[in-house]
Amino acid sequence: MSRTRVVFFVIVGAAVLIVLIGLAAGGVFEQGPSALVPPTPPGPIEIRIVAASTIYPWVDEAASAFNSEEHIMEGQPIRVQVVPMDGLEALRRFDAQTMEIPTAWIPESRYLVELVNAVYKPQMGRDVFLTDGEYRARPIAISLLAWGVYQSRARVLEEAFGEINWQALHDAAVAQDGWPGIGGPADWGYFKLLIPSPNRNIAGLSAMISAAGEYFGRPDISVADVMDEDFQQWLYELMSAVPEFSSAGAYPGESLALFGPSGGEVGQLLESDILTHMAGAAQRWGEPLLVYYPRFVTWFDYPFTIWIGPETTAAEKNAALEFEHYLLSLEVQTRAVNYGLRPVHDQVGVDLPDSPFVEWEEYGVVTVVPRYTAMRSPSRDVLETFLTWFERNIAER
């Protein structure tokens, strides 16, 4: 054998020996082939959902069930965290770019999504929430603004004004003698209205817009309408009947049931919020709430909107889509009815056994909302004008 070949085999042998020593040091040969374990997975796919406070209880319950079922994507479990936040607060944070970017957002209404897109599109050159395609914003449940009125008060209001609407409530608010001036007993005092604070709750802001719709007799409101002096005086008189805005909190239906007529005799709130607290109000105060629907209906469609941007990974976006499909499933949509929400699944109605819509039907709740006129989505300028007026004239009184 030539000297060159000897050197070659020596080098190869030394290399093999080094590899074997390395493997032995790593423990590969200590436990046999079973020790060749694949790398540890990086962990679950975490998705964070910011959900409107009024839909949070249902979404959070669904997230708990979803997590317990161990849904898997790309070999990793999906974990869903749900954070409650009113759409108005979320909009402010998006505008100021102080929002911790969520994987998905479920605001009260689609127009809030459009307002966020309007902020980010000039900077990013595209929408951050899509309106078409697989990741488009899709409603997952529906609710609407309605009036909850304590039965004794409703009877007096109907006797005095014929029907319950914003004008009737305004006239009750300005009655010089309070309830006795419109046919009620003296111990009721003055008329008390309950709506959420418009500068902290989108339902409260929407209630003011609803009142404007009835005042002007049309579903679309302009900045010029808000600035109309006669309307502002009328709205001031109406809003002055709210004893304390801060008491309503994020769940004004709870306040209506908890404090009774002394805190608010009539409230325009989300239908789902009223239905959730119908039983509590009747048990605590010995009389039920009656439900009435306005001429101009404000709908809340709760769109599930996935953030399209580099702040979230493709896996997180797809995991959010998986959770969206779960919320739209037959079983989860059926559970939404128990929360007073109207499902979007075409095979789920609100006339189910134990449905609050059926339970409280004799008190004015309707399973099918008549074809009232829908209020149109307000522009950002209209929203800001209403908020400025409220903060200057009502919030600081």
Q: Are residues 149 and 251 in the same domain?
A: yes
pLDDT at 37 (0 to 100): 38
Q: Domain check: are 108 and 170 in the same one?
A: no
Task: Indicate if 266 and 287 belong to the same structural domain.
Answer: yes
Q: Are residues 260 and 315 in the same domain?
A: no
Range of 277's domain? 144-299+364-393
Q: 188 and 243 in one domain?
A: yes
Q: Is residue 14 included in any domain, yes or no?
A: no
Q: What is the pLDDT along the chain (397 residues), one digit of tens a residue?
A: 444 443 344 344 444 444 344 434 444 333 333 333 344 456 799 999 999 999 999 999 999 999 999 999 989 999 999 999 999 999 999 999 999 999 999 999 999 999 999 989 988 888 999 988 999 999 999 999 999 999 999 999 999 999 999 999 999 999 999 999 999 999 999 999 999 899 989 999 999 999 999 999 999 999 999 999 999 999 999 999 998 876 656 678 888 999 999 989 999 999 999 999 999 999 999 999 999 999 999 999 999 999 998 999 999 999 999 999 999 999 999 999 999 999 999 999 999 988 999 999 999 999 998 877 899 999 999 999 999 999 999 976 5
Does residue 168 sit in the same domain as residue 236?
yes
SS3 for 327?
helix
Mark whether 308 and 282 lie in a shared domain.
no
Query: Is residue 358 a part of any domain in this protein?
Result: no
On whether the CB atoms of residues 204 and 87 are closer than 8 A, the answer is no
CATH for 113: 3.40.190.10
323 and 248 in a common domain: no
> Among candidates 315, 374, 296, which has minimal Cα distance to 47?
315
Q: What SS3 class is residue 82?
A: strand
Q: Is residue 315 part of a domain?
A: yes
Calculate the alpha carbon distances from 248 to 254, 268, 282, 305, 307 in Å.
Answer: 8, 11, 18, 28, 31
Same domain? For 243 and 94 the reply is: no
Q: How many domains does the chain have?
A: 2
Helix (H, G, I), strand (E, B) or coil at 268: strand
| Residue 160 and residue 120 share a domain | no
Q: Which of 180, 156, 186, 151 is nearest to 168 (CA)?
A: 156
Beta bridge partners of 296: 373
Contact (Cβ atoms closer than 8 angstroms) between residue 41 and residue 76: yes
The answer to whether the beta carbons of residues 165 and 214 sit under 8 Å apart is yes
Q: How far is CA 41 from CA 77, 202, 318, 322, in A?
A: 10, 42, 18, 20
- Cβ atoms of residues 135 and 325 within 8 Å: no
Calculated CA dihedral for residues 62, 273, 304, 113, nearest 10 degrees = -160
Distances (CA, A) of 278 to 244, 273, 290, 353, 381: 22, 9, 9, 17, 36
Do 154 and 195 share a domain, yes or no? yes
- The token pair at 341 is 């929400």
Residue 99 maps to a domain: yes
Segments of the chain assigned E as strands:
45-51, 72-73, 76-84, 104-106, 138-139, 141-150, 193-194, 266-270, 289-292, 296-297, 299-300, 303-306, 342-343, 373-374
